[in-house]
Chain A
């Protein structure tokens, strides 16, 4: 009688130990919280020009894109040249963020230089996104 009771008790209290699972999940959670940057992508795919002196750019930056058809995009919407300073101000609330311009290699260069000039007034640095040349 006593033997049977013990085996029943053991079976009832036996459950999967979830502590390692919680540990792993917490580590993953902390990793993703730390690495999250929340960049708003421009929402248009561009073919970047090649460059040899390309360096890794700052991750937490305001992104603009100039498409092949000379349209400026920011956060998934088409914007005009005059809106750029206001958008940079809105994106960098308390501390200034650098600006990265993703320009299509067939876009108009004078439009790019106008965008760079506009962005430079409000941003500490303006960079042009490129791809590695082969």
Chain B
């Protein structure tokens, strides 16, 4: 009788899940801490093969001579004019745009020029550092 009473106890034996839960929690905390949700937005000026742009007409170019000015072929232009210039110059097929930056020009302005050129439908925008 005593033996019979003992047997149900052994049937009740279960796998101890506490170490599993501990380990899973440690993994969970590691991944929560290590995950960095970097949601970056930005512009990606596509780079075209340089051979094709040379064979085509010379690319549209803007100069940034520093002191916050934008020039095109030596004449001063405004930031808002860039998109219409690119749009009229491309007329049908999109063109690549060259942005010549001289020392002293700000990166914010250069980025805005590239942004406006892309807004005007430029297929590629290239930044070129110029020596003074």
**Which residue of A32, A66, A109 has the most chain B CB atoms within 10 A of its CB atom?**
A109
Contact of A129 among B21, B41, B119 (CB under 8 A): B41
Proximity string of chain A (49-87) to chain B, C-beta cutoff 8 Å, 1 when within and 0 when not? 111111111010101001000000000000000000000
A55 and B41 form a contact (CB under 8 A)? yes
Q: Is A36 an interface residue (CB 8 A)?
A: yes
A29 and B130 form a contact (CB under 8 A)? no
**Which residue of B20, B41, B102 has the most chain A CB atoms within 10 A of its CB atom?**
B41
Interface size range of chain B in the complex? 35 or more
Proximity string of chain B (28-47) to chain A, C-beta cutoff 8 Å, 1 when within and 0 when not? 10011011111111111101
A106 and B108 form a contact (CB under 8 A)? yes
A113 and B111 form a contact (CB under 8 A)? no
The residues of B that contact A100 with a CB separation of less than 8 Å are: 40, 42
B24 and A109 form a contact (CB under 8 A)? no
**Is chain A's binding surface mostly helix, strand, loop or mixed?**
mixed
Q: Quick one: given A21-B21, A108-B103, are A39 and B109 in contact (CB under 8 Å)?
A: no
A100 to B39, CA, bound (A): 11
Q: Quick one: given A25-B25, A106-B106, are A55 and B42 in contact (CB under 8 Å)?
A: yes
A33 and B110 form a contact (CB under 8 A)? no
A17 to B41, CA, bound (A): 45
- How many whole Å from A16's CB to the nearest CB in chain B? 11
B31 and A33 form a contact (CB under 8 A)? yes
- How many whole Å from A131's CB to the nearest CB in chain B? 7
B17 and A56 form a contact (CB under 8 A)? no
A contact residues, total (Cβ < 8 Å): 55
**Chain A residue at minimum C-beta to C-beta distance from B44:** A127
Q: Is B2 an interface residue (CB 8 A)?
A: no
A39 and B101 form a contact (CB under 8 A)? no
Known: A110-B104, A113-B129, A130-B111. 9 other contacts (CB 8 A): A18-B17, A41-B38, A49-B109, A51-B42, A52-B119, A53-B115, A59-B39, A109-B109, A126-B44
Identify the B interface with A (CB < 8 A). Answer: 12, 17, 20-21, 24-25, 27-28, 31-32, 34-45, 47, 64, 99, 101-112, 114-116, 118-119, 127-130
Identify the A interface with B (CB < 8 A). Answer: 13, 18, 21-22, 25-26, 28-29, 32-33, 35-39, 41, 48-57, 59, 61, 63, 66, 100, 102-114, 116-117, 120, 125-132
Could you show 15 A-B contacts with beta carbons less than 8 Å apart?
Answer: A36-B35, A37-B38, A39-B38, A49-B109, A53-B115, A54-B42, A57-B41, A59-B38, A66-B107, A103-B107, A109-B107, A113-B127, A126-B44, A127-B44, A131-B41
